[in-house]
Amino acid sequence: MNPALRTGPDGIARCAWVGDDPEYRRYHDEEWGTPLHGDWALYEKLSLEGFQAGLSWITILRKRPRFREVFAGFEPEAVAAFGETDIERLMADPGIVRNRAKIEATISNARLVTAMADGELDELLWSFAPEGARARPVGFGDIPAVTMESTAASKALRKRGFRFVGPTTIYALMQSSGMVDDHVEGCHRAAG
């Protein structure tokens, strides 16, 4: 049995990182690795991946409804209008990750997104998706934390002024938004 796989109570084989958490199973089955497009959707994903830095994704996933509520649904124009009062409100909210640098980066990044042409963030991020087929990962050791593409995307975003967009964060974004498919061999979501 591949230790990178886990069969759930429903009898379905999934990537083992899912564990037994029903929300994690839903996320894995319906979102992770599914191509995601749109500036708004990718801005949200970029923001949440930034908040995840140093934490587990399940922590962010469980807090996502509250994040969406207090960050105006991650609508870039609304978040771009946030000021110091909003930062203090967010810092006092126990339902999210209360990290001032990450909160300020989310607001600053929203301002950068609103300054871009419609569709430009989507086009920029997807321009770094690797071309061609890659070998299906068999185990977790086959899945990188950083790639040439995530490093290049990180540099391009930083050059534009984005924050909390390191190569590891960007690779996680690439995985979650379907720019790469890292479902391990044998997972029911693994493409051909």
Given a cut of 70, the residues of the chain with pLDDT beneath it are: 191-192
Query: What is residue 88's predicted lDDT score, i.e. its pLDDT?
Result: 98
The C-alpha atoms of residue 173 and residue 106 are separated, in whole angstroms, by: 15
pLDDT per position as a tens digit, 142-159: 999 999 999 999 999 999
Outline where the chain has alpha helix (H): 22-30, 39-52, 57-70, 76-80, 84-91, 100-115, 120-126, 148-159, 167-176
Query: What is residue 39's predicted lDDT score, i.e. its pLDDT?
Result: 98
Helix axes 39-52, 100-115, angle to 10 degrees: 160
Query: What is residue 192's predicted lDDT score, i.e. its pLDDT?
Result: 54
The residue from 17, 27, 40, 126 that is catalytic is 27
Query: What is residue 2's predicted lDDT score, i.e. its pLDDT?
Result: 87
Is 57 in the active site?
Answer: yes
Residues in the chain: 192
C-alpha radius of gyration, the chain, whole number: 17
Query: What is residue 133's predicted lDDT score, i.e. its pLDDT?
Result: 75
The residue from 17, 40, 57, 126 that is catalytic is 57
Is residue 6 within a helix (H) or strand (E), and if so which, with residue range? strand 5-7
The residue from 24, 43, 44, 49 that is catalytic is 49
Bridge partners of 14? 6
